[in-house]
Structure 1
Amino acid sequence: MAGKSEHVAKAVQAAVSTGKRLSIRSGGHSYADFTYNKDVEVIVDLSMMNDIFYDPRRKAFAIESGAQLGHIYETLFRGWGVTLPGGVCPAVGIGGHATGGGHGLLSRQFGNVCDLIEAVEIVVADRPNKVRTVIASREDTGDLKDLWWACCGGGGGSFGVITKFWFRSRGATGSRPAEQLPQPPREVLISTAFAPWQQMDETRFTHLLRNQCQWYVENSDPASPASALCGLLFVQHVSSGGIGMLTQVDASAPNAEKLLEEYLGAVTANTGITPFPFRRLPWMASTVTIDTSNPTVMTNATLRGAVKHAYLRQSFTKEQCAAIYHHMTRPDYANTSPGTAMIQLGAMAGGRMNALAPGDTALPQRRSALVAMFENFWVEAAEDAKHLGWVRDIYGQTFASTGGYPVPGDRYEGCNINAPDLDITNPKFNKSGVPWHTFYFGDNYRRLQRTKARWDPKNVFRHSLSISAH
């Protein structure tokens, strides 16, 4: 367990010198075997490296890679009135979250977390049997610029061990800390709704999914005033629960209450769902409440699970809605508490996340409207085949017309590496003929490969979906 970057360098050097396979652990929140698998002999654990401070020399906020999101939000906001637009799970480590893109309830308003990376301190093994620590920044050129770029959306564990990030908004000016990162809303409007499956037939369900999708398709432009709103739809299997909605709006946005009202009206039209009255809350209080009220967040450390992700550029078709409805209401399948089988559908794309070009960072998904996350969590290893089978079935049939996966094009924009899916490398499930890396990195993969060859020529840093130099 490392406490300083020097400790990390020594651990990596020892692994390189002895030829031992190593992996990296930031927060410990992972859906794949990137850190823990049978081949790993050394785990570089960064969880004790969690310092957060303002660096006046770089005019940026320094955050060590083991810091977890909940701690980051509290420290940045209470210390300087700023934030990062990251995810809602407080136990996620910033190391993997930021390098894979990182998005949350404020991302439509402020962009991805990786868009704010000004520099990284990273332990690399780019010389024969020799480890060193370098800093790569947004202002660098040449090889160092490529390394910084690769760390902004290229996923963790491919190029080295990032020990520290510096975060600063693009175009930030001055030297006051409060001017260097986004300032979150002072207050937010929070709306929730719930519908039991008993009141949801297939026609209403189809309206709900297509309404949700269409609103985001129409409001995905970076300059849209609706970027102040982020809404999520939680569709649980009939055995796991019902259908929930969560919506957050910046209360200071022009006509915020009207924006919320029109959104809820558009999404719930012809569905029979009546949202509960909205609440006005301080942003920090709302953030803590949402973090701790999510049962999956609170229990996933002890659950087995599988996730599959899709960036959507267009609405689900009626045929896709029918496939989803079928699997969500299947009587021959069940997943009960503490597990859950569900889809999250909504606003982790679009708005300011679409402000950059696909090649500005390693994260190429800059034309999407919303995301769909297919998730399943359970307890017993003996039930792996049952629960994996369900999530494979619903995802594969939803994207059956493109070989079981959301092939990048007019309708989809691939997947996010922070929701790693090892099935994507298996032609039994990915029948599209499209390589796995195209879904995650698109045309950026060639530059990632060149960066890999330059900074990790011996492939010291690798896992099941890491960048390959060849």
Structure 2
Amino acid sequence: MDRRDFLHAAALAPLALSAPPPDWARLRGRLAGTLVLPGDAGYDSARRLYNPAYDRIRPGGVAYCANAADVSACLAFARASGVAVTTRSGGHSYAGWSTGTGLVIDVSRMSSVAYAGGRATIGSGAKLIDVYDRLSRHGVSIPAGSCPTVGIGGLTLGGGIGVVSRKYGLTCDTLESVRVVTADGRLLTCDARHHAGLYWACRGGGGGNFGVAVSFTFRTHEARDLTVFFLHWPWSKAQAVLSAWQSWGPSAPDALWSSLHLARSAGGLDVQIVGTYAGPRSALDRLLAPLVAKVGRPSSRSVRTVPYLDAMRIMAGCSSMSVAECRRMPRETFSAKSHMAYRKLPSDGVRALVNGVARGGRHAVLLDAMGGAIGRVGPAATAFPHRAAIYSVQYYAEGTDRGWVRGLHGDMSRYFGDHAYVNYIDPELGNWRSAYYGPNATRLAEVKATYDPGRLFKMPHGVV
């Protein structure tokens, strides 16, 4: 902490023991954006997240901020009134922590996407489908996720595992600078030379902890055509596919990313491998050959080379829709948990996972290959610690009943350990500090003490 930050921290530390009633009308008058209060037209829409499971939560107000000054005004209001504050980018928090009963600072209107000289500057409220669409017009992109309505803000701050991460790294790995409004209302530009600790924390330390990010500047990569593939096998092959994939996928050339899906739905049990390859179909066929030779011929196979934006829409599940329709993908009620796998499952672990998916219900386990460019970054170089993980594991169930995810996650913890991904935040996780952050938790707490000593930003799993 330098002298200037120390003085700001000292000024924030003695929080008021009591606060006057919140003056919502005064806040509304200070905003260039829109403040939506209970009883206003649009309130029911404004308070909703992506997951309808959290529709019961009723914020005291939702501020659609138009700029950084609006964010600063909201934070001043929260400091003065004692109203709890929550930040929201895309509203995809798995635990529902992008809303609350106080003031929700919504940055979705700060969604500009600009490109110049190999750099993309993106407002923190931009949805991924719009990021991909607008950058594709310049022939470039950034490594990001697959869900089209996820906000770039939350994705980046938690790390950002995506469908080209093995070649280009996590989303946060291409982040060159971030503009953050801190608890005291300052707008800081953070990079490797300015507020370097906060810049470090914003690359994997999770959203809602250190301030409100309002824009990001990323290095871009050329958006070349991608070859996308879908391979299905009968469920009788599930154990063989899992055993073979966990040796093949994380060790493939960087240009090849893949994900193994084990699912039970209304249509029955299904095992498939999906992926992207930054190269021609002929080369991909050669890379798939050893996997197919080990497992056996898939029951169905789809391989095609498409423009980069089309590949992102395919991975998003909205390939038959326009970009505008992708932006309006329907909400889904679900519950989820995660692991980060640092070693391959032994044969009994493979059997346990497959048998767990076969239990009754509608659910899936999604395993995303890591390694490649992700693993060539040191675990302390950014706040994202899981550089040695070979794949991520997501347990995902339809509906609000957490019984299946809770049970299978518990069964698999003996094999995967206690590592988890902060962007799949889990309200039931007891050891979340070490699971999300590992040895980086101590430094994150130091950054928190520097930029938010009064803990204006707090949530159940907030850095302390």
Read off the aligned partner of 1:200 and give its amino acid letter. Answer: W
Residue in structure 2 matched with residue 406 of structure 1 by the alignment: 417
Residues 60 and 163 from structure 1, CA distance in 2 versus in 1: closer, same or farther, beyond 3 angstroms?
same
Q: Secondary structure at the match of 1:276?
A: strand
Aligned counterparts of 1:277 and 1:33: Cα–Cα separation in 2: 36
Q: How much has 1:218 moved relative to structure 2? A: 3.5
Q: Provide Cα deviations, 1:204-242, integer angstroms capped at 9, x if missing partner.
A: 3221111110113544xxxxxx11111112111264542
Residue in structure 1 matched with residue 383 of structure 2 by the alignment: 362
Aligned counterparts of 1:423 and 1:294: Cα–Cα separation in 2: 35
Aligned counterparts of 1:148 and 1:7: Cα–Cα separation in 2: 22
1:243-262 map, 5 Å? 243-251=271-279, 257-262=282-287
Q: Is the 8 A contact 1:119 1:137 kept in 2?
A: yes
Residues 334 and 300 from structure 1, CA distance in 2 versus in 1: closer, same or farther, beyond 3 angstroms?
farther
Residue in structure 2 matched with residue 213 of structure 1 by the alignment: 246
Instruction: Please provide the CA RMSD for this pair.
Output: 2.3
Residues 85 and 264 from structure 1, CA distance in 2 versus in 1: closer, same or farther, beyond 3 angstroms?
farther
Q: Provide Cα deviations, 1:298-317, integer angstroms capped at 9, x if missing partner.
A: 99853322222222232211
Q: Secondary structure at the match of 1:445?
A: helix
1:62-461 map, 5 Å? 62-78=121-137, 80-125=138-183, 130-140=184-194, 144-168=195-219, 181-184=220-223, 186-195=224-233, 199-201=234-236, 204-219=237-252, 226-237=253-264, 239=266, 241=268, 242-251=270-279, 257-263=282-288, 265-266=290-291, 269-271=294-296, 273-293=298-318, 302-330=331-359, 333-335=360-362, 341-347=363-369, 349-378=370-399, 384=400, 387-400=401-414, 406-407=417-418, 414-425=419-430, 435-461=431-457
Q: Secondary structure at the match of 2:221?
A: coil
Q: Provide Cα deviations, 1:258-285, integer angstroms capped at 9, x if missing partner.
A: 4443335415723552442521222222
Higher deviation after alignment, 277-286 or 109-118: 277-286
Aligned counterparts of 2:447 and 2:141: Cα–Cα separation in 1: 30
Q: How much has 1:421 moved relative to structure 2? A: 0.9
Runs of 4+ in structure 1 deviating by more than 4 angstroms, as ranges, are 297-301
TM-score, normalised to structure 2, is 0.80
Q: Is the 8 A contact 2:149 2:328 kept in 1?
A: no
User: Quick one: percent identity of the two aligned structures?
Assistant: 26
Q: How much has 1:249 moved relative to structure 2? A: 1.1
Residues 61 and 329 from structure 1, CA distance in 2 versus in 1: closer, same or farther, beyond 3 angstroms?
closer
Q: Secondary structure at the match of 1:418?
A: helix
Q: Secondary structure at the match of 1:399?
A: helix
Q: Secondary structure at the match of 1:33?
A: coil
TM-score, normalised to structure 1, is 0.79
Residue in structure 2 matched with residue 171 of structure 1 by the alignment: none
Read off the aligned partner of 2:246 and give its amino acid letter. Answer: C
Q: Is the 8 A contact 2:88 2:105 kept in 1?
A: yes
Residue in structure 2 matched with residue 52 of structure 1 by the alignment: 113
Aligned counterparts of 1:375 and 1:460: Cα–Cα separation in 2: 32
2:81 corresponds to which of 18, 34, 43: 18
Aligned counterparts of 1:323 and 1:300: Cα–Cα separation in 2: 33
Q: Is the 8 A contact 1:238 1:328 kept in 2?
A: no
Q: How many residues align?
A: 395
Q: Is the 8 A contact 1:191 1:275 kept in 2?
A: no
Read off the aligned partner of 1:215 and give its amino acid letter. Answer: W
Q: Secondary structure at the match of 2:379?
A: coil
Q: How much has 1:164 moved relative to structure 2? A: 1.0
Q: How much has 1:365 moved relative to structure 2? A: 1.1
Q: How much has 1:23 moved relative to structure 2? A: 0.1
Q: Is the 8 A contact 2:92 2:98 kept in 1?
A: no
